[in-house]
Structure 1
């Protein structure tokens, strides 16, 4: 097999990269070790920054997003006695969209299989080779059990934290990683319940953080801060709804309950790996970085990565110019660290931890954002999405 860009991983990063390259006349093959059904069922992020919506729309993937997605023009910050709306268009001229990562993935897969570049599911034993040369290759076993070799000009590792790509880039002392594990987790549920709010609610409460989100006019997505050692089987639906009602309590307002269709506990951590390139192997998305979901940055960072990478690869493969691929890692990481800081900021401000001294510091920061237009604008600019190239 022969292609220009071999892409390992069929998450949003890999699929969007393939799409962006195809629109510029660059061939690719996408390899995925899971089944199509598994990939399309993964529950992940749901907030799209303005640049992500613009990128998907420009790539011909915006029809269902515009039809079924929910545009959100702000968020509520809540702490006892106060629920304050931050108006994003008024503060920074942008908005965000609620449209689940599962739906983005379905749109990308449909486009890929409808006359797009090859997408191979259920491959195994994937091994990038000769990445330090101009002729790398990927060895793998296809779904029928046949050993294959994919010859290519470039390899993109979009295969996530547990994939095979990152260890090759950073192995042997050639790279560095940073990691922060937070002392709390999120218990998340999907519920057949109409949202009781027009915008997302980020609630600080003495008993722990809570987030009110949604997936559609009939489906709510809600989260509770819990200890990382908690077991999901210890949380009955009634216990979850009681805790949500307590943490979102606000005068004149009530939470809407319904049938819980999915629940899980998500650990909270930050992870950054550098560099994001070795030779002709480039990392993007979760293969290079993970952020806690509080700042809604994970999927959007992946889209930013592959947008930069696609432009760089087109310049390399069509114009034989290496300047953009040479600077890709530094440019991508500048944005990664900015978004990592914002995610840390939101996480540290809203999650109850430490003693009462820490709680008063958190409340002081929340009051500052509520009272100060400049502080509110800083949050809005980061939340809705900063420029791709900082």
Structure 2
């Protein structure tokens, strides 16, 4: 207990918070990472697994990509299935041989946390944050055990329901929150993938998809009705619907134990601006994208890289300057990227999910969806532009 003084307090030890802390420490900026979860809890959270090119390059630059490159799966193609048509897009054929990777988020967190703590980075894990105050003109993060962390900058990296974000006045932000009317059953199964790449299946009964996780574990998705719960999806139905919706021959998808199941609502959220005074928002605290394009973790880590560079310049070149202006500039830069990723994720959402039967203009909307899909099949320039966005940009210089 007591008060800790630092330059930057980061609330949240996920990919964004740990990336930011690692980069700040590399630049000689004092930082403390706070999270309500302890180490074991952090590493037990199975989440996303698709790493864009810029994310892989960032891990390379941090010197933390050894396991990623030896244990991760190079992601070299994706495939769409629709009415017996298979549209397979190969990255190397169209965009060169720089792959993205599949590497589970909890492993990214493990690598980042090991790297940060091995460099004597300060953490307060298992310490729930219960408030945000001000002392001597500086923000103070208060923990449930009585510890206070006073910093020049506080960063909310604990997601959309993070305690710092909750303590900020709602009327200081414009928030866009869109529910797309699509719900997915997501399962993790102890089974090898039936194809060595991501597969998206369109079917009259709804979407089905395979996302890689490891050679032994596969993430699988099935579109669920609005009123369905997990109880409506016993394992037998899961496997039966996957076979049917992906048009798989018997035995192609080997059945194995399902050890994680959840219902995911396809939702979009953007908060503007991504700062208030001396508080900055990164990752899910500022934006959520549907999992359609696999962009959430990548966008969060890109936020962290940009903010670390901006704070590095501030503390080394102009420590007496107005840090709120630094954060305002960060917000403007990141929102430009956020909206581009939102647009791509929206495109992917409507490429993968057809209209509900009986909805207005359903036939017209379905015709547009198929036109986009078959243009990907028939137009190499269109497919190349799509894959460049799917794989994500290169890491920007200076980050």
Residue 110 of structure 2: aligned partner: 106
Q: Cα gap change, 1:80/1:17 in structure 2, threshold over 3 Å: closer, same or farther?
A: same
Give the C-alpha shift of residue 88 in structure 1: 1.7
Contact 1:166 1:288 in 2 (8 A): no
SS in 2 for 1:193: coil
SS in 1 for 2:178: strand
Contact 1:135 1:152 in 2 (8 A): yes
Contact 2:192 2:218 in 1 (8 A): yes
The match for 1:317 among 315, 318, 321 is: 315
Give the C-alpha shift of residue 388 in structure 1: 6.1
1:60 is aligned to 2:27: no
Residue 330 of structure 1: aligned partner: 332
- CA distance in 2: counterparts of 1:251 and 1:80, whole angstroms: 15
Runs (4+) of structure 1 exceeding 4 A deviation are 250-253, 321-324, 387-390
Residue 257 of structure 1: aligned partner: 255
Contact 1:315 1:324 in 2 (8 A): no
Give the C-alpha shift of residue 241 in structure 1: 0.4
- CA distance in 1: counterparts of 2:249 and 2:186, whole angstroms: 24
Give the C-alpha shift of residue 251 in structure 1: 7.0
SS in 1 for 2:142: strand
1:140 is aligned to 2:143: yes
Give the C-alpha shift of residue 57 in structure 1: 1.6
Contact 1:195 1:214 in 2 (8 A): yes
- Cα displacement string for residues 90-149 of structure 1 (whole angstroms, at most 9, x for unaligned residues): 323342100011111122222233343111122134323339x863222223xxx3x122
Aligned length: 384
- CA distance in 1: counterparts of 2:131 and 2:92, whole angstroms: 46
Residue 159 of structure 1: aligned partner: 158
The match for 2:72 among 69, 75, 85 is: 69
Contact 1:331 1:389 in 2 (8 A): no
Give the C-alpha shift of residue 215 in structure 1: 1.3
Give the C-alpha shift of residue 214 in structure 1: 1.9
C-alpha RMSD of the superposition: 2.1
Q: Cα gap change, 1:39/1:371 in structure 2, threshold over 3 Å: closer, same or farther?
A: same
Contact 2:53 2:394 in 1 (8 A): no
Give the C-alpha shift of residue 20 in structure 1: 0.9
Contact 2:165 2:285 in 1 (8 A): yes
SS in 2 for 1:130: strand
- CA distance in 2: counterparts of 1:210 and 1:122, whole angstroms: 37
TM-score, scaled relative to structure 2:
0.91
Contact 1:155 1:280 in 2 (8 A): yes
Give structure 2 stretches of 5+ with no counterpart: 357-361
1:86 is aligned to 2:89: yes
TM-score, scaled relative to structure 1:
0.93
Give the C-alpha shift of residue 387 in structure 1: 5.4
- CA distance in 2: counterparts of 1:388 and 1:176, whole angstroms: 29
- CA distance in 2: counterparts of 1:383 and 1:280, whole angstroms: 34
The match for 1:353 among 355, 368, 391 is: 355
Contact 1:191 1:260 in 2 (8 A): yes
Give the C-alpha shift of residue 197 in structure 1: 0.4
- CA distance in 2: counterparts of 1:255 and 1:357, whole angstroms: 33
Give the C-alpha shift of residue 231 in structure 1: 1.0
